[in-house]
């Protein structure tokens, strides 16, 4: 349940160690390091990590008093001495993370205590209220006359004349290429048809009757041929 806690009634040095809590769903919390000492001086520091930008307060105390002057150290290096045993670091950053100790004069030194610093959470759901200041460098002078805004002219539609010229040019090229072919084909067909028509013309035969002279010559020729034939058989 929300707000669960674990209370240890009487602690001893054996209770020192790393502690964390875990939900039933398996989610775990940040780990903390708890040191239990039997010495005379202890350093109280935040158990949970400190968020960047917050203040960090460390308290050095004994079993009987918490207002004694104490010197504070980080990673073995001296920081400063506080007269009342309380040291506050304002607006912590990641560089403030480390191991801290304190020392009370004539009493002793505390065990080291680790202080963790986490990044600052950014609220992404909250709308931004940052507004840009108006730029007054371009504001007109009261005495100056404002020029009218420049007229905006829209670009004319793209000229499609080159496309039409290209189509006409391609048509002319096709005509130039195919016209000679068509003309030559027409001429060849005409010549072929004319030649065929000339071969099919009818042939007329005229027979003339022989004249009397030609008939006399033919009779003489027949007599000569008959005489020669008879002489050959003899």
Would the pLDDT of 69 be above 50?
A: yes
pLDDT of residue 228: 44
Q: Which tokens go with 91?
A: 């607006």
As a residue count, the chain comes to: 234
Spatial contact of 93 and 117, defined as CB atoms under 8 Å apart: yes
139-189 pLDDT, tens digit each:
555 555 556 666 666 665 655 566 778 788 888 887 777 777 788 888 888
Spatial contact of 71 and 80, defined as CB atoms under 8 Å apart: yes
Spatial contact of 60 and 38, defined as CB atoms under 8 Å apart: no
Q: In terms of Cα–Cα distance, which of 98, 113, 104 is closest to 60?
A: 104
Burial call 196-228: b when 16+ CB within 10 Å, e when fewer: eeeeeeeeeeeeeeeeeeeeeeeeeeeeeeeee
Spatial contact of 70 and 108, defined as CB atoms under 8 Å apart: no
pLDDT tier at 224, thresholds 50, 70, 90 = very low
Question: Looking at residues 119-139, what average pLDDT do you find?
Answer: 58
Beta bridge pairs of residue 43: 60
pLDDT of residue 220: 57
pLDDT tier at 102, thresholds 50, 70, 90 = very high
Share of the chain above pLDDT 90, in %: 26
Q: Which tokens go with 59?
A: 């308290």
Question: Looking at residues 118-138, what average pLDDT do you find?
Answer: 60
3-state secondary structure of 114: strand
Q: How far apart are CA 60 and CA 196, in angstroms?
A: 134
Spatial contact of 155 and 88, defined as CB atoms under 8 Å apart: no
Burial call 44-54: b when 16+ CB within 10 Å, e when fewer: bbeeeebebee
pLDDT of residue 232: 45
pLDDT tier at 231, thresholds 50, 70, 90 = very low
Mean pLDDT of the chain: 76
Q: Which residue has the higher pLDDT, 63 or 232?
A: 63
3-state secondary structure of 84: coil
Question: Which residue reads 């000339």 in tokens?
Answer: 198
Share of the chain above pLDDT 70, in %: 63
pLDDT of residue 26: 86
Question: Looking at residues 106-129, what average pLDDT do you find?
Answer: 77
- Residue-range domain boundaries for the chain: 13-118
Q: What is the CATH number of domain 13-118?
A: 2.60.40.10
72-101 pLDDT, tens digit each:
999 999 999 999 999 999 999 999 999 999
Question: Looking at residues 182-198, what average pLDDT do you find?
Answer: 78
**pTM confidence score:** 0.44
Question: Looking at residues 46-62, what average pLDDT do you find?
Answer: 92
């Amino acid at each position: 349940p929300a707000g669960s806690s674990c209370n240890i009634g009487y602690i001893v040095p054996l209770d020192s160690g790393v502690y964390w809590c875990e939900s039933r769903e398996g989610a775990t919390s940040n780990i903390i390091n708890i040191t239990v000492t039997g010495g005379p001086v202890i350093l109280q520091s935040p158990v949970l990590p400190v968020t960047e930008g917050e203040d960090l307060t460390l308290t050095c105390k004994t079993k009987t008093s918490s207002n004694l002057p104490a010197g504070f150290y980080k990673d073995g290096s001296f920081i400063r001495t506080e007269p009342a045993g309380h040291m506050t670091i304002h607006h912590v950053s990641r560089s403030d993370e480390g191991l801290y100790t304190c020392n009370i004069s004539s009493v002793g030194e505390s065990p080291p205590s680790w202080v963790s610093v986490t990044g600052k959470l950014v609220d992404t759901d909250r709308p931004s209220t940052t507004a840009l200041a108006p730029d007054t460098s371009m504001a007109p002078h009261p005495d100056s006359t404002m020029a009218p805004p420049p007229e905006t002219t829209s670009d004319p539609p793209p000229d499609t004349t080159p496309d039409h010229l290209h189509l006409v040019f391609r048509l002319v090229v096709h005509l130039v290429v195919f016209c000679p072919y068509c003309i030559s084909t027409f001429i060849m067909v005409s010549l072929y048809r004319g030649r065929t028509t000339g071969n099919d013309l009818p042939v007329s035969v005229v027979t003339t009757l022989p004249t009397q002279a030609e008939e006399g010559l033919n009779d003489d020729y027949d007599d000569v041929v008959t005489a020669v034939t008879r002489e050959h058989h003899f």
